[in-house]
């Protein structure tokens, strides 16, 4: 049950970012124009081009959703080691934008990830101005080998 749920959560991080709940953050994204955004969903810490930045509204929405989803599925928060959304983006202010209302044309390449123990669940998702597509949704199992003495991802 947890394995499927963690994969679903990784997908939802991407899907929510590309949906209406991002609207309060449009102006900041339009100001940044392009770059890489990283959101630690467990603590709502945000990074823009690897530097810390003020949390985005979408980070709070993702955090609330994740905590509610874990609770409703009887999954202890302590089993989640990492919940991250990374987004490479390029946005432009749409000419239809009016005073106080920002509309953006966008290209979002998202990677949602949930890690628990040695396992990592992920979703790669793309949204080009509303045309959305799941590129990959999967599971990586880390295995320690004596030969490499490191972690090797195996598709599961």
Query: How far apart are alpha carbons 37 and 57 in whole angstroms?
Result: 13
pLDDT at 92 over 50: yes
Range scoring the smallest mean pLDDT among 18-32, 42-56, 123-137? 18-32
Strand 45-48 to 34-40 pairing: antiparallel
What is the value of pTM for the model shown? 0.84
pLDDT (tens digit per residue) in 35-89 = 999 999 999 999 999 999 999 999 999 999 999 999 999 999 999 999 999 999 9
Q: Which residue range is the domain that position 142 belongs to? A: 2-155
Q: Which residues contact 64 (CB under 8 A, 6 or more apart)?
A: none
The beta strand positions in 41-146, using DSSP E, are: 45-48, 51-53, 82-93, 104-116, 119-128, 131-144
Query: How far apart are alpha carbons 15 and 21 in whole angstroms?
Result: 10
- Give the residue from 116, 88, 104 showing the smallest Cα distance to 10: 116
What is the domain count for the chain? 1
Query: How far apart are alpha carbons 115 and 41 in whole angstroms?
Result: 12
Give the pLDDT band of residue 135 (cuts 50, 70, 90). very high
């Amino acid at each position: 049950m947890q394995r499927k749920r963690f994969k679903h959560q990784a997908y939802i991080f991407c899907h929510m970012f590309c949906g209406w709940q991002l609207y309060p953050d449009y102006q900041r994204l339009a100001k940044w124009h392009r770059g890489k955004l990283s959101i630690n969903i467990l603590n709502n810490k945000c990074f823009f081009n690897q530097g810390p930045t003020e949390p985005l509204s979408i980070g709070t929405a993702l955090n609330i959703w994740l905590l509610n989803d874990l609770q409703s599925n009887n999954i202890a928060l302590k089993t989640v080691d990492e919940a991250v959304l990374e987004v490479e983006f390029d946005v432009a202010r749409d000419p239809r934008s009016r005073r106080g209302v920002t509309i953006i044309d966008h290209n979002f390449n998202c990677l949602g990830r949930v890690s628990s123990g040695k396992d990592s669940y992920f979703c790669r998702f793309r949204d080009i101005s509303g045309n959305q597509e799941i590129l990959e949704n999967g599971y990586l199992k880390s295995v320690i080998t004596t030969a490499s003495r490191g972690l090797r991802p195996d598709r599961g």
